[in-house]
Amino acid sequence: MTLNENIINKLAEYLENAELECNAVVKITDEYPDMDWDDAYAIQKTIRQRKLNRGNKVAGLKMGLTSFAKMKQMGVETPISGFITDYGSYPDGAEIDISKFIHPKVEAEIAVVTKTRLKGPGCHIGSVMAAIDFVLPAVEIIDSRYENFRFDLKSVIADNTSSAGYVTGGKICPPEDINMRSTGVVMEKNGQVVEVGAGAAVIGHPASSVAMLANMLSERGEDIPAGTFIMTGGITAAVTVEAGDNIMVRYQDLGTVSMRFV
């Protein structure tokens, strides 16, 4: 670590205020160019603790930057992880008040809920498949707190991987009844197809993303408890939304997820 506790706390407050006040800010590495990965995750953890102290709940975990294309674009070799909150949850078909966000985008994902604990190191796709209770469709709303989505990897880890919300679909599926790797998705915005993809876009298989999450968490002394809801990462590129936009995502074998931004 390169930052002391006071600076970690100050940066967590800066980023969380940006979220709560819907106010874009400059990336933190402009002021702290030498901060390291541990600093970045420590800031994210402090934001998480601030929310818990305020009475919010952590509703699950997420993986970000999981597509090879996005990793290459960012010049990184591993995805990043974050958490999702109770207040970011929206039901299928929700009307979502866009004024709660700065510059939101949506991306189609496959989510899972676990039934047993997953702990790295050495967690692999087999351990994950055995631990999944069910699979469900989910669309993530990302909203970087940084001006114009201008950030680097350490800044975005600290900013809880741009996590802002998620819409879950109602069709759940046992893991043995779905091939998550070949599950196709079609995203439509206002009736027009804007993105298509398949589960394999998520580091080859969404369950591999969960294994990677368990292994990454183990480096920080954490695990994935039984009953955890996990967003495995974007299958499609993130699509910008504005007031009036209708989003519909059609999943092969997992039904649809829709929302309207107002």
Residues forming contacts to Mg ion in the complex (CB under 5 A) are 140, 234
- In angstroms, give the least distance from the CB of 63 to ligand 0L1: 7
CB atoms within 10 A of CB 224: 24
* Strand blocks (E) in the chain: 58-64, 80-85, 89-91, 94-96, 105-114, 132-142, 163-168, 184-189, 192-198, 229-234, 239-240, 246-251, 255-261
29 binds, among ligand 0L1, Mg ion, none (CB under 5 to 8 A by kind): none
β-partners of residue 196 are 186
Pick 3 or 84: Cβ nearer Mg ion: 84
Cα–Cα distance for residue pair 56/59, rounded to 1 Å = 9
Pick 55 or 232: Cβ nearer ligand 0L1: 232
Return the residues of window 48-67 that contact ligand 0L1 according to CB under 6 A: 64-65
Helix axes 37-53, 5-20, angle to 10 degrees: 60
Cα–Cα distance for residue pair 139/126, rounded to 1 Å = 25
CB atoms within 10 A of CB 166: 25
Binding string to ligand 0L1 for residues 138 to 167, with x set by CB under 6 A, is what? --x-x-x-----------x----xx-----
- In angstroms, give the least distance from the CB of 162 to ligand 0L1: 3
* Interacting span for ligand 0L1 (CB under 6 A) from 10-18, 41-49, 207-215, 232-240: 232-240
* Strand blocks (E) in 51-210: 58-64, 80-85, 89-91, 94-96, 105-114, 132-142, 163-168, 184-189, 192-198
- In angstroms, give the least distance from the CB of 94 to ligand 0L1: 19
Binding string to ligand 0L1 for residues 88 to 127, with x set by CB under 6 A, is what? ----------------------------------------
Exposure string over 79-90, b if 16+ CB within 10 A, otherwise e = bbbbbbbeebbb
Structure tokens at 118: 């997953």
Pick 65 or 96: Cβ nearer ligand 0L1: 65
CA atoms within 13 A on the CB side of 203: 22
Cα–Cα distance for residue pair 168/125, rounded to 1 Å = 23
* Interacting span for ligand 0L1 (CB under 6 A) from 12-20, 37-45, 201-209, 231-239: 231-239
238 part of the interface to ligand 0L1, by CB under 6 A:
yes
- In angstroms, give the least distance from the CB of 174 to ligand 0L1: 26
- In angstroms, give the least distance from the CB of 190 to Mg ion: 22
CA atoms within 13 A on the CB side of 89: 17
- In angstroms, give the least distance from the CB of 65 to ligand 0L1: 5
Pick 61 or 118: Cβ nearer ligand 0L1: 61
The binding site for ligand 0L1 (CB under 6 A) comprises 64-65, 140, 142, 144, 156, 161-162, 233-234, 238
